[in-house]
Amino acid sequence: MSSHATPETKGQLEAEISEALIRFEKDYMGRGPDETRTHVIDDMVLVRLRGVLTPAERRLAASSDEGGRGRSLIKQVRIELLEKARVLLGSLVHDLTGQQVQSLHTDISTVTGERIILFTLAAPPRVRDPDGS
């Protein structure tokens, strides 16, 4: 878990993961998303980032030839960049959830500018109920 003495609520954990992914996108990718939502579902963490494409990537995607080469290049580069940061992202999620990351899956839409990142964990993170139990 994060540095809190008692496990936080699911909502607090989700907010912390969202904030951490926003910082990652800004620091590592050079631009933060317009919006980020995180959902912890059993032993999975689903992160949805909206508005992650740079202006240059949006122009490339919009003017892409019929074969979609520009869109394909954007996807390839973004996936490769995230693959290079897999250990960093795994550590980040482990530090916040207290669980080892088993796998990471991602995709990005060059049409909507949305990225989905799915982390599967060794076990569900321990969180307390919002009522304090």
**Dist. CA 94–CA 87, nearest whole Å:** 10
Domain residue limits at 76: 28-121
Establish if 126 belongs to a structural domain. no
Task: Let me know if residue 20 belongs to a domain.
Answer: no
Q: What is the pLDDT of residue 90?
A: 96
Per-residue pLDDT of the chain (133 residues; tens, 9 = 90+): 444 444 689 999 999 999 999 999 999 888 889 999 999 999 999 999 999 998 999 888 888 666 678 888 899 998 898 889 999 999 999 999 999 999 999 999 998 999 999 999 999 999 987 666 5
Predicted TM-score (pTM) of the model is 0.86
115 lies in some domain: yes
Select from 119, 126, 83, 124 the least CA-distant residue to 102: 119
Q: How many domains in the chain? A: 1
Does 32 map to a domain?
yes
Residue 45 in any domain: the answer is: yes
77, part of any domain: yes
Q: What is the pLDDT of residue 33?
A: 94
Q: What is the DSSP string of 40-109?
A: EETTEEEEEEES-S-HHHHHHHHT--TT-HHHHHHHHHHHHHHHHTHHHHHHHHHHHHSS-EEEEEEEE-
Is 15 among the domain residues? no
Distance CA 101, CA 120 (A): 6
pLDDT at 5: 45
Q: Indicate whether 1 belongs to any domain.
A: no
